Structure 1
């Protein structure tokens, strides 16, 4: 009787294991390396960006835009491209992004990922790793139109995309400045979203087809997507897992600065695993003298460059300006 019971238990377990591994798996993303075509004329470039943003249900002040230094449309020696994080906007790194560009007399393109910053019923509706990558590639192309040397600045998963840009377009990225890059989610079990039944797990975690988030800061709901499809979490994990690889980092040769919040083991970034950051930097092909990691103990948040979220965004701003002056030899204007 005992042996019979054991046999049935083993059979049931085998069925469960087989069912799991033959379950639906999210498709592997395919990342194009084609250089996007954007207008060369400044007026046409602005019109191109505005036409797309105006054609979509973009929430107030979430639109992509170029901020010209001194409000004059002309190419500057350096330009910044800012890539926000998943479900975020330019405000997840503002005012640091804009202040740094202004400090060095540089134009800056504040990108908006595809399907981000839209009114709730449309938020992240068609988000995929490929659409995020397409947005990043176009942002780099626009940055190349408005500045001779492009510095990609980012927050969170914008940093994931930034590393990919530097790896695939090494001649077009002058430097990377990453604020709290998403190299690994700090939520236990996140990797399961990219495994068989990942979509079903995402729906289980979200308690339905959609995920709804609450922010402590009233202003945050305008600049972060607070309701979006559960499948977006699966696509986010697919993006991170297919980009964050040794072969990606080994192709990065440009100067790199990575900043993150860490005070102690109990007070540190609550969204990404910061202990992975130094390990990733060791894999870069960047000369040791031109790469650095900076732990900040005062921001108190993942969003170290945001005046909405951070207790001390100026700490990040000071370190970035120092890096630009000392490592990149940029002059304050």
Structure 2
């Protein structure tokens, strides 16, 4: 092969890359028509969730402190990738109870449905719409919004902190997905990223859940589906791309965070960089008991070791929220 042919092939490949399709992740979404009257919000959520065949204990839901009325604080929980509102049970419930607060559990689109095609066609914008809805409901049911997010829900929470700087009082993050540990997920950012992801996965991703659930909580299901369409991974990586486009030092909302140093689901180095650069009041809570050195979600009653961190972490979170609101 002569030099001219080599140059021609190189130019052709470069042109092919330049014109090849890339997935575009935009910071835009459709807002939902949420009732302004607090008395109508339960019926709104019921009507919304009846459209889907949901697994037990996965629907969007408000746990009212006493009556259907606004409280000083509201707590909003955003679950992780492939998970449900029970992911770190009973941490959100206990924080809300300690603050005498109404509690809202959201459900990101596609979750809570036991069907491998539940995530087909899901986009980052769908989840942004759900996050926006959660923030609006949080504002409706409480004067001061406390946002809690785990893993992908942590990524969603950081996006919310950047986009609603004056509407969130404090944030609680558990192992936020600043970036996945598995860097093969970068593929979706490449030219032909969607097509390559489909080719590699066959269109579906297998999600493994732990078997060692605590017997007294066997009815509490933390994960909503074991097989997901690859569109869910693409949506997740879109959220990751958006949150990493922000300057973390410009986000000022008081923040309490915990994570494990050897996490093999999300990148712990990226979490440490996020904590270092974060611009608001912050407290990094070390976890004292781990399932193993690679544990991802270190609190909640889903396993023996993580359950022992639940009260410890809850106390620190509540004390932090109370302290920052006295300053």
TM interval, shorter chain, is 0.7 to 0.9
Equivalence for 1:157: 152
SS at match of 2:312: helix
For 2:120, what is the secondary structure of its paired residue?
coil
- Separation in structure 1 between the aligned mates of residue 31 and residue 165 of structure 2, nearest angstrom: 13
Structure 1 residues 209 and 180, CA, compared in 2 at 3 Å: closer, same or farther? same
* In structure 2, C-alpha distance between the alignment counterparts of 1:96 and 1:167, rounded to whole Å: 24
Aligned partner of 1:265 in structure 2 is none
2:94 aligned partner: 99
Question: Cα offset for 1:212?
Answer: 2.7
2:20 pairs with 1:19: no
Tell me whether 1:213 sits opposite 2:198 in the alignment. Answer: no
Report the CA distance between 1:144 and its aligned residue: 1.0
1:276 to 270, 274, 277: 270
Secondary structure of the corresponding residue to residue 183 of structure 2: coil
Out of 211-220 and 139-148, give the one that drifted further.
211-220
Are residues 1:74 and 2:65 paired?
no
Say if 1:74 and 1:330 are closer, same or farther in 2 by CA, change over 3 A.
Answer: farther
Task: Give the TM-score taking structure 1 as reference length.
Answer: 0.85
Whole-angstrom distance in 2 between the partners of 1:122 and 1:42: 34
C-alpha contact (below 8 Å) 1:86/1:157 kept by paired residues: yes
TM-aligned CA distance change 1:321 to 1:26, over 3 Å: same
Query: 1:260 — aligned with what?
Result: 259
Q: CA deviation at 1:18?
A: 4.2
Aligned length: 316
User: Can you give the 5+ residue segments of structure 1 that lack an aligned partner in the other structure?
Assistant: 263-267
- Deviations 1:209-256 (Å, cap 9, x if unpaired)? 222323232868773322222222122212211222343x24421101
Contact 1:299 1:313 in 2 (8 A): no
Distance 1:136 1:189, change over 3 A: same
After superposition, what is the alpha-carbon deviation per residue over 1:10-57, rounded to whole angstroms, capped at 9, x for unaligned? 65555445434432211232325x875422333310000011101212
Task: Specify the alignment match of 2:225 in structure 1.
Answer: 225
Greater Cα offset, 295-304 or 53-62: 295-304
* Counterpart Cα distance in 2 of 1:88 and 1:233: 13
Match of 1:136 among 122, 131, 150: 131
2:194 matched to which residue of 1? Answer: 199
Q: Counterpart of 1:77 in 2: which secondary structure?
A: strand
Between the aligned partners of 1:93 and 1:153, the Cα distance in structure 2 is 10
Q: 1:192 to 1:17 in 2, by over 3 A?
A: farther
Q: Give the alignment's TM-score, normalised by structure 2.
A: 0.86
Out of 290, 299, 308, the residue aligned to residue 299 of structure 1 is 290
Q: For 1:118-137, list aligned pairs within 5 A.
A: 118-137=113-132
Look up the match of 1:29. Answer: 26
Q: Deviations over 1:167-204 (max 9, x none)?
A: 21122100010000000110022212122111122123
Distance 1:291 1:173 in 2: 14
In the alignment, is the contact (CA less than 8 A) between 1:261 and 1:297 conserved in 2? no
Shift of 1:278: 2.6
1:294 Cα deviation (Å)?
2.4
C-alpha distance after superposition, 1:55-91 (max 9, x if no partner)? 2121222101001124x22222111000011221112
Equivalent residues of 1:104, 1:330 under 8 A apart: no
Q: Aligned match of 2:309 in 280, 292, 315?
A: 315
Does the Cα contact within 8 Å between 1:215 and 1:221 map onto a contact in 2?
A: no
